[in-house]
Amino acid sequence: MQQSGFPAAWDSRISVKQRLLLPMFVGVAFGTCAILIDQITGATSILAAKVGSDFNVGFPGSLFVYTGGAIKLESVFRIIPIPIILWLGSSVFLKGRAQNKIFWILAVLTSAVEPIIQGIPLMQLAGGEIGGFSFAAYAIHAYAFNFASAVCFRFYGLLGAVLVRFGNYIIWHIGFGFYLQYLTR
């Protein structure tokens, strides 16, 4: 990954605070925003009523599922495709040029993948009961979250991307899921 401009896993130029705490804080902030958006839109309640169950994996299984999910999804959305395409584009085809521009193009494009592949099916599953405002709030939030993950990946390495997602999942899926599962019934 270093050939495509990403820092090594334990690059000495990156402090522990930058490598671990900042990405986790970013993820926690996005998880908190997701809860606020849901409280305003009621989208998870609509989906739960439509499909007959909660959208989260129950606690304590959620600890394992969402930890693994953070690693898997970041690998699929960013950790594998961005460095490969970036290396091919800037190192192989452009002989070392435009690495930064290609990264930002890839960050913009890959950030749209999850909102599209997750958001559209959720809207269809809701059968039109989730309105345009709710979908727009979800899509903007999901896009910004994925873009922040790409930025943390670029500046802080692969742990940065995974920890942004894990911080989000701790709040949104694990914490809020626990609240919905045990404290609202």
Q: How confident is the model at residue 155 (pLDDT cuts 50, 70, 90)?
A: very high
Q: 6: alpha, beta or left, given left = phi > 0 and alpha = psi -120 to 50?
A: beta
**pLDDT beyond 70 at 52:** yes
Q: Please give the span between the terminal C-alpha atoms of the chain, in angstroms, as a whole number.
A: 47
Residue at 155 is within a domain: yes
- Do residues 44 and 38 make contact, with C-beta atoms less than 8 angstroms apart? yes
Residue at 26 is within a domain: no
Q: How far is CA 177 from CA 2, 40, 140, in A?
A: 37, 17, 22
Would you state the pLDDT for residue 1? Answer: 62
Residue at 34 is within a domain: no
Residue at 95 is within a domain: yes
**pLDDT beyond 80 at 55:** no
Would you state the pLDDT for residue 62? Answer: 94
Q: What is the mean pLDDT of residues 87-99?
A: 92
Residue at 147 is within a domain: yes
Q: Which domain holds residue 171?
A: 70-185
Residue at 119 is within a domain: yes
- Overall number of domains in the chain: 1
Higher pLDDT, 54 or 31: 31
Q: What is the mean pLDDT of residues 126-131?
A: 88
Residue at 24 is within a domain: no
What is the b/e burial string over 5-24, where b = at least 16 CB atoms within 10 angstroms of the residue's CB?
bbbeeeeeebeeebbeebbb
Residue at 97 is within a domain: yes
Chain centre to alpha carbon of residue 141: 10
